[in-house]
Amino acid sequence: MRDLAPRLPSSPGFWRSPLRGPRFTSVLGLVLLVGITVLFVTGLVSYAAYNPDLAPVNDKTPDKGILGFYLFAWPTDPPWLYRLTQGVHVTLGLTLIPVLLAKLWSVVPRLFTLPPVRSLAHALERISLLLLVGGALFEFVTGVLNIQLEYLFPGSFYPLHFYGAWVFFAAFVAHAVLKTPQALRNLRAMREEHEERDDLVSPRPAAPTVTRRGALWFVGGGSLLMLATNAGRSFDGPLRATAVLSPHGGPEPGSGPNGFQINKTAAHVGIDPAETTEDTWRLVVTGRSGTVRFSRAELLAMEQHSVALPIACVEGWSTSDQWWRGVRLRDLAARVGHEADPPDVFVESLQRRGAFRSGALRANQVADPRSLLALYVNGEELSPDHGHPARIIVPAAPGVLNTKWVARMTFGELR
Contact status: 405 vs ligand MTE (CB under 6 A): yes
371 near ligand MTE, judged by CB under 6 A: no
User: With CB under 6 A as the contact rule, which of the stretches 27-35, 174-182, 193-201, 262-270 interacts with ligand MTE?
Assistant: 262-270
Quote the least distance from Cβ 56 to ligand MTE, whole Å: 17
**What torsion, rounded to 10 degrees, do the Cα atoms 252, 258, 261, 263 define?**
-140
For position 399 contacting Mo ion by CB under 5 A, the verdict is: yes
To Mo ion, the closest distance from the beta carbon of 409 in angstroms equals: 20
Task: Supply φ then ψ for residue 324, to 5 degrees.
Answer: -100, 150
Per CB under 6 A, 287 contacts ligand MTE:
no
What is the DSSP secondary structure assignment for residue 304, as one 8-state letter?
Answer: P
Stretch of 96-104, 272-280, 379-387, 398-406 contacting Mo ion, by CB under 5 A: 398-406
Tell whether residue 186 is a contact of ligand MTE (CB under 6 A): no
Residue 40 within binding range of ligand MTE, rule CB under 6 A: no
Q: Which amino acid is at 370?
A: R
The verdict on 311 binding ligand MTE (CB under 6 A) reads yes
Binding positions for Mo ion, 272-331, rule CB under 5 A: 313
Q: What is the torsional sign of CA 303, 308, 314, 319?
A: positive
* Pairing of β 290-294 and β 380-381: unpaired
Q: Indicate left, alpha or beta for 65 from its phi (over 0: left) and psi (-120 to 50: alpha).
A: left
Exactly one of 38, 144, 160, 400 binds Mo ion (CB under 5 A); that residue is: 400
- Is 60 a binding residue for ligand MTE by CB under 6 A? The answer is no
46 binding ligand MTE? (CB under 6 A): no
What is 259-295 written as a DSSP string? Answer: -S--SS-HHHHT--GGGGSTTT--EEEEETTEEEEE-
Q: How far is the CB of 369 from ligand MTE (least distance, A)?
A: 21
**Cβ contact 331:303 at 8 Å:** yes
If DSSP codes are grouped into helix, strand and coil, which group holds residue 59?
coil
Which among 277, 367, 318 has a CA at the least distance from the CA of 80? 318
Q: What share of the chain is helix, strand, coil (3-state, %, to 5)?
A: 45, 10, 40
Q: What is the rounded distance in angstroms from the CA atom of residue 201 to the CA atom of residue 22?
A: 8
Is residue 269 involved in binding ligand MTE (CB under 6 A)? yes
Stretch that binds Mo ion, among 50-58, 123-131, 247-255, 400-408 (CB under 5 A): 400-408
Only segment of 39-47, 55-63, 362-370, 398-406 that touches ligand MTE (CB under 6 A)? 398-406
Closest CA to 199 of 4, 31, 10, 29: 10
Out of 175, 233, 386, 388, point to the residue binding ligand MTE (CB under 6 A): 386
Q: Does 349 bind ligand MTE (CB under 6 A)?
A: yes
Give me the residues that bind ligand MTE (CB under 6 A), please.
Answer: 261-264, 269, 311, 313, 349, 351, 354, 356-357, 386-387, 399-400, 402-405
Give me the residues that bind Mo ion (CB under 5 A), please.
Answer: 313, 399-400
